């Protein structure tokens, strides 16, 4: 659903919102029972006051277009005939604020992993930070930049990590990359001439596996348990080019690697003259206690730290960073230079300004509360519809959860049955390259991007599919 407003129009903001929602209903683009965004959400997205949106909604309720349900939101009324679009109310698109609002809860509910709640993106703060950064930057900022990235952002990230994670590194070690995807691809290319194998957690993210394989490196999966990597399994695989690991929040199972294993892992890295690639993709979103300390702090010479702004802010800016041991900086910079010269710079200035003004930490703090509530909603719904027969794996953190359904095997016929009920879930077996059978009852449920209503509906549909005879 598109809502477009023009602040300079002689038609009031309330009237513009009212007319557009009314037209969407009359044109059949908003169906009966379809849920509208909350007034708070729409107001935030449009950068206007909530009372304006409330006034428009109330008008539409009064005229019978919408029904306001106290506590469960506003939905489109039924029994309205569809009429052809009315050109007279169309608002010109240029110089307008346009936002896309989430689809209705009647469509497919996709429990995809790692997708942020875009409706809560701090658009107004981001716009202001972007504008301030453009106002402040020197003319030279419009030319080429060093391959390491914009130095203000590198300094800002170093200070941010010290403040929030207690992680100490020099800004000179921080290399800005276009997301962790590029960071991992560059590291795989950089290290592939040393040795030909890479050890990787099993299960792991299939996309990340692909990145390493595309660098023509052989992958060996190392099993994990509920605390992460099983270090004893490493001994049968000496001399890898590097080990890929997610010690703060194992992807996808959610374990936190305990200090004893961290120390053994580092001992292995030293004994085998190899590197540990620490992918710290979502550790800020830990709902119980503080974020876990990094592996990097324990051995800055052996650990390559990979951070990203994709989960904590948005993947759209494609900004991440590597923290490199000194000896890798020079060969890395050469590789990056002949790869893409440098990551897009203007957004780097804006991000530095956004972090320095406190916008990022405020956003993380806010999202942590929202994601924790969504996680709890998911658990509550599972308890309601499938009591005592499921287990949650991993720690209370991140944007997804792995759930084991005792006695269920998520084989293709069952997945088809679940999909037929308009729900998409992700069997953990698809993330495994060793013992798939051990994970046959486990699925991944990403919840961050879903509304509370979507989580409720999705779990109701999923559990109904699981209860069908024959499964
Ligand atoms: C474990 C893990 N690492 C890295 C990434 C990639 O992140 P980016 O957007 O920074 O490339 C993802 C994306 O979902 C992920 O799940």
248 ligand 1 Cβ < 6 A: no
Residue 462 CA from chain centroid, whole number: 23
Quick one: how far is CA 109 from the chain centroid?
17
> Do 465 and 418 form a contact (C-beta atoms < 8 A)?
yes
Atom of ligand 1 lying closest to residue 183 CA: 11
Tokens of 405: 């359904």
Q: Would the CB of 308 count as within 6 Å of ligand 1?
A: yes
Q: Quote the pTM value.
A: 0.78
> What tokens appear for 120 in the block?
């809560």
Of the candidates 41, 79, 45, 39, the one whose C-alpha atom is nearest the C-alpha of residue 59 is 39
Element (H, E) at 447: none
For 272, residues 6+ apart whose C-beta sits below 8 A from its C-beta are 238, 239, 240
Distances (CA, A) of 310 to 118, 177, 314, 322, 371: 11, 12, 5, 14, 15
Nearest CA to ligand 1 atom 15: 281
The residue written with tokens 């993106």 in the block is 121
Which residue's CA is the nearest one to ligand 1's atom 2? 281
The pLDDT score that the predictor gives to residue 426 is 97
User: For ligand 1, is residue 39 a contact (CB within 6 Å)?
Assistant: no
- Is the shortest distance between the CB of 250 and ligand 1 below 6 Å? no
What is residue 265's predicted lDDT score, i.e. its pLDDT? 97
Phi, psi of 360 (to 5 degrees): -70, -50
Whole-angstrom distance, CA of residue 375 vs CA of residue 459 = 12
Q: Phi first, then psi: what are they for 254, rounded to 5°?
A: 95, 10
Does the CB atom of residue 181 touch ligand 1 within 6 A?
yes
Q: What is the DSSP letter of 395?
A: -
Backbone angles phi, psi at 381, to 5 degrees: -65, -40
Handedness of CA 328, 334, 337, 339 (dihedral sign): negative
C-beta of 320 in contact with ligand 1 (< 6 A)? yes
Q: Which residues contact 73 (CB under 8 A, 6 or more apart)?
A: 35, 36, 38, 453
Centre of ligand 1 to C-alpha 181, Å, is: 6
Q: Which residues contact 412 (CB under 8 A, 6 or more apart)?
A: none
Establish whether residue 254 lines the binding site of ligand 1, counting it when its CB lies within 6 angstroms of any ligand atom. Answer: no
Q: Is 149 in the pocket of ligand 1 (CB under 6 A)?
A: no
Tokens representing 82 are 């569809």
User: What was the pLDDT predicted at 45?
Assistant: 82
| Cβ(14)–Cβ(56) below 8 Å | yes
pLDDT of 85 reads: 53
The candidate with the shortest Cα–Cα distance to 165, out of 357, 306, 293, is: 293
Distance CA 143, CA 342 (A): 11
How close is the Cα of 235 to the center of ligand 1, in Å? 28
Residue 345, CA atoms < 13 Å, CB-side half-sphere: 20
> Is 250:394 a contact under the CB 8 Å cutoff?
yes
Closest C-alpha among 327, 304, 323, 275 to residue 176: 323
| CA–centroid distance for 394 within its chain | 17
Which one of 3.90.180.10, 3.90.420.10, 3.40.630.30, 3.40.640.10 gives the CATH number of domain 124-358? 3.40.640.10
Nearest CA to ligand 1 atom 12: 281
What separation in Å is there between the alpha carbon of 204 and the centre of ligand 1? 11
Task: List the chain domain ranges.
Answer: 2-101, 124-358, 362-467
Q: How far is CA 300 from CA 157, 294, 327, 394, in A?
A: 17, 10, 11, 27
Q: 145 CB less than 6 Å from ligand 1?
A: no
Q: Which atom of ligand 1 is nearest to the CA of 251?
A: 1
Residue 281 Cα to ligand 1 midpoint, Å, equals: 6
Cα of 179 from ligand 1 centre, angstroms: 8
pLDDT averaged per 10 residues in sequence order, the chain, 471 residues: 77 85 84 88 87 87 83 85 55 43 64 96 98 95 97 97 92 98 98 94 95 95 95 94 96 94 96 97 86 92 97 98 98 98 98 98 96 96 92 93 96 95 96 93 97 96 90 58
Segment (H or E) for 467: helix 452-467
- 442-446/426-427 β-pairing: antiparallel
CA–centroid distance, residue 81 to ligand 1 (Å) = 46
Of how many residues is the chain composed?
471
Nearest to 145 by CA among 182, 115, 116, 175: 175
Ligand 1 atom closest to the CA of 181, numbered from 1? 11
For the CA of 179, the closest atom of ligand 1 is 10
Residue 179 CB less than 6 A away from ligand 1: yes
Q: Give the Cβ contact number of residue 104 at 10 Å.
A: 16
Question: From ligand 1's centre to the CA of 242, what distance in Å?
Answer: 18
Closest CA to 26 of 86, 107, 106: 86
Give the helix/strand (H/E) hosting 340. helix 326-340
CATH fold label, 2-101: Arc Repressor Mutant, subunit A (1.10.10)
Residue 95 is predicted with a pLDDT of: 42
**Distant-in-sequence, close-in-space partners of 351: CB < 8 Å, separation ≥ 6:** 153, 156, 309, 313, 317, 319
Query: CA 416 to CA 422: how far, in whole Å?
Result: 10
pLDDT of residue 84: 60
d(CA 115, CA 107): 17
Q: How far is the CA of 105 from the centre of ligand 1 (A)?
A: 27
Distance 359 CA to ligand 1 centre (A): 22
Give the other-Cβ count within 10 Å of 158's Cβ: 20
**CA 442–ligand 1 middle distance (angstroms):** 21
The answer regarding whether domain 362-467 maps to CATH 3.40.50.10190 reads: no
Other C-beta atoms closer than 10 Å to the C-beta of 197 total 16
Q: Which of 112, 310, 394, 397 to mutate to test the pocket of ligand 1 (most atoms within 8 A of CB)?
A: 310
Evaluate whether 385 touches 218 at the Cβ level (below 8 Å).
no
């Amino acid at each position: 659903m598109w809502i477009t407003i023009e602040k300079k129009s002689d038609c009031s903001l309330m009237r513009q919102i009212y007319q557009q929602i009314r037209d969407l209903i009359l044109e059949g683009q908003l169906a009966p029972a379809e849920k509208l965004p909350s007034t708070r959400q729409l107001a935030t997205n449009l950068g206007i006051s909530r009372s304006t949106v409330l006034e428009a909604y109330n008008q539409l309720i009064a005229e019978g277009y919408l029904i306001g349900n106290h506590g469960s939101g506003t939905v489109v009324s039924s029994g309205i005939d569809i009429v052809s679009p009315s050109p007279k109310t169309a608002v010109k698109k240029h110089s307008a604020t346009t936002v896309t609002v989430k689809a209705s809860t009647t469509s497919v509910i996709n429990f995809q992993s790692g997708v942020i709640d875009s409706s809560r993106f701090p658009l107004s703060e981001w716009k202001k930070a972007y504008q301030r950064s453009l106002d402040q930057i020197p003319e030279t900022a419009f030319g080429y930049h060093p391959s390491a990235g914009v130095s203000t952002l590198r300094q800002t990230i170093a200070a941010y990590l010290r403040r929030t994670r207690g992680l100490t590194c020099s800004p000179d070690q921080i290399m800005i990359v276009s997301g962790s995807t590029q960071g991992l691809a560059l590291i795989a290319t950089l290290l592939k001439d040393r040795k030909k194998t890479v050890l990787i957690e099993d299960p792991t993210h299939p996309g990340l596996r692909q990145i390493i394989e595309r660098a023509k490196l052989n992958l060996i999966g190392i099993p994990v348990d509920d605390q992460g990597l099983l270090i004893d399994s490493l001994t049968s695989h000496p001399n890898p080019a590097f080990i890929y690991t997610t010690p703060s929040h194992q992807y996808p199972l959610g374990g936190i690697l305990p200090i004893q294993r961290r120390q053994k892992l580092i001992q292995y890295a030293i004994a085998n003259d190899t590197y540990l690639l620490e992918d710290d993709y979502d550790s800020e979103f830990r709902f119980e206690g503080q974020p876990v300390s990094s592996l990097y702090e324990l051995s800055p010479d052996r650990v390559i730290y990979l951070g990203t702004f994709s989960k904590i802010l948005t993947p759209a800016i494609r900004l991440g960073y590597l923290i490199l041991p000194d000896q890798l900086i020079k060969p890395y910079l050469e590789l990056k230079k002949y790869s893409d010269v440098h990551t897009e710079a203007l957004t780097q200035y804006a991000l530095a300004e956004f972090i320095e003004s406190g916008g990022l930490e405020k956003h993380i703090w806010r999202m942590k509360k929202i994601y924790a509530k969504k996680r709890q909603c998911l658990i509550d719904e599972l308890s309601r519809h499938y009591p005592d027969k499921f287990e949650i794996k991993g720690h209370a953190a991140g944007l997804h959860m792995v759930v084991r359904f005792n006695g269920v095997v998520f084989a293709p016929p069952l997945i088809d049955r679940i999909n037929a009920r308009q729900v998409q879930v992700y069997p953990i077996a698809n993330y495994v390259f060793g013992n798939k059978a051990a994970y046959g009852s486990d699925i991944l449920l990403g919840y961050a991007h879903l509304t509370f209503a979507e989580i409720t509906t999705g779990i109701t549909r999923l559990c109904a599919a699981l209860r069908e005879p024959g499964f």
